[in-house]
Amino acid sequence: MANPFKNKIALVTGGTGSFGRAVIAPLLARGVREIRIFSRDELKQETMRIDMAEPRLKFIIGDVRSRESVDQATEGANFVFHAAALKQVPSCDFFPMQAVLTNIVGSNNVIESAIAHRVGRVICLSTDKAVYPINAMGMTKGLMEKLAQAGARNRRGDTLVACVRYGNVMHSRGSVIPLFIEQIRSKRPLTVTEPTMTRFLLALPEAIELVIHAFEHAEQGDIFIKKASACSIDVLIEALKALFRSEAPVNVIGMRHGEKIFETLATREEMRNAEDMGDYLRLRMDARDLNYSKYFTEGDRKEVSQDDYTSHNTTRLNVREVQKLLRSLPEVRAALRHPA
């Protein structure tokens, strides 16, 4: 297909976060004319402006909670990557209305603004926590997915709305790997909530590839998932201690508010209609209308025969395999080169 990015204007909400900073280079390499970095943190924007010194970046102060500021950022854009969100599980549980305002109301503002301004494509970033949610962060992200699919189903014009769903990104802000590395380097005990937990292992470049893949292949209301391996937290700790030659003790502190034992990226009901695309799964939107009466005689006869897709039943890595994966992360390599 022709390069869909060339000479186009991209808007990245939450653009000063881990995803926003990482998606810039791939978009510039694909020839975009302008990338609008939309966020409410002026210090992060100033730091990013100085560090990157890139004339094609345009920085816009605003908040997704304000439809007016979203409209100002959206006007003239060709596509939107919606990454703005409150993501910390405990803080969302303690202040759930704040999660509602950003993750639900803010997402609706972005989707509705994109449709109103005839933006070509909107890709919304979701999370495993939206599946069988047990915390406010996951519940609000699950509703963001429903808003995206409602926008896709009821769209006015040609705006395509789709989502990607992935677990925690390795070494991203607030993730456990940098915490463990800092504890190892400062010779403190490693604080672990529950060693038997499993988590998907996804590097940030893989998350970017997932979003680009969804952008290039999505149809209305799709949710794309990157297949990924996983490991338990105790295996991750063993791998890190081996890499850093540490004998640090482990202090099990108990599960935090809203934590899960394992991550689920797709339910068994979603897996019934999932399209296997090799490295990716496409979960299609249920496009049926509200005329339910006809389904009394014309039901869907597919059986629910598959399991959920989780970090417990995906490929599980051992200590040696996790060490190899950790060595591929530039942040870990930098920490190994410059031990404290």
**Residue 307 and residue 313 in contact, taking contact as beta carbons nearer than 8 Å:** yes
Global pTM reads 0.91
177 occurs within a structural domain = no
Residue 79, classed as helix, strand or coil, is strand
Which of the following is catalytic: 6, 44, 58, 129? 129
263 occurs within a structural domain = no
Which residue, 218, 254, 204, is CA-closest to 233?
Answer: 254
Q: Where does the pLDDT of residue 304 fall: very low under 50, low under 70, confident under 90, or very high at 90 and above?
A: low
339 occurs within a structural domain = no
Is the pLDDT score of 1 beyond 60? no
Is the pLDDT score of 119 beyond 70? yes
- The per-residue pLDDT for 289 is 81
Taking residues 138-166, what's their average pLDDT? 93
**Residue 8 and residue 56 in contact, taking contact as beta carbons nearer than 8 Å:** no
Is the pLDDT score of 209 beyond 60? yes
- The per-residue pLDDT for 258 is 81
Q: Are strands 280-283 and 223-226 parallel, antiparallel or unpaired?
A: antiparallel
Q: Are strands 275-276 and 264-266 parallel, antiparallel or unpaired?
A: unpaired
272 occurs within a structural domain = no
Which residue, 88, 86, 113, is CA-closest to 102?
Answer: 86
Q: Are strands 79-82 and 264-266 parallel, antiparallel or unpaired?
A: unpaired
Higher pLDDT, 321 or 174: 321
Residue 324: count other Cβ atoms within 10 Å of its Cβ.
11
334 occurs within a structural domain = no
Tokens read off for 198: 């499993």
57 occurs within a structural domain = yes
Residue 58, classed as helix, strand or coil, is strand
Which residue, 209, 176, 179, 147, is CA-closest to 19?
Answer: 209
Lowest-confidence segment of 66-80, 122-136, 291-305, 326-340 by average pLDDT: 291-305
**How many whole angstroms from its chain centre is CA 25?**
18
CATH number at residue 93: 3.40.50.720
71 DSSP assignment: H
Domain count, the chain: 1
Domain residues for 129? 9-167+203-226
297 occurs within a structural domain = no
Q: Is 58 a catalytic residue?
A: no
Q: Where does the pLDDT of residue 294 fall: very low under 50, low under 70, confident under 90, or very high at 90 and above?
A: low
Is the pLDDT score of 105 beyond 70? yes
Taking residues 169-194, what's their average pLDDT? 90
DSSP string covering 107-174? HHHHHHHHHHTT-SEEEEEEEGGGSS--SHHHHHHHHHHHHHHHHHHT-SSS-EEEEEEE-PBTT-TT
30 occurs within a structural domain = yes
Q: Where does the pLDDT of residue 303 fall: very low under 50, low under 70, confident under 90, or very high at 90 and above?
A: low
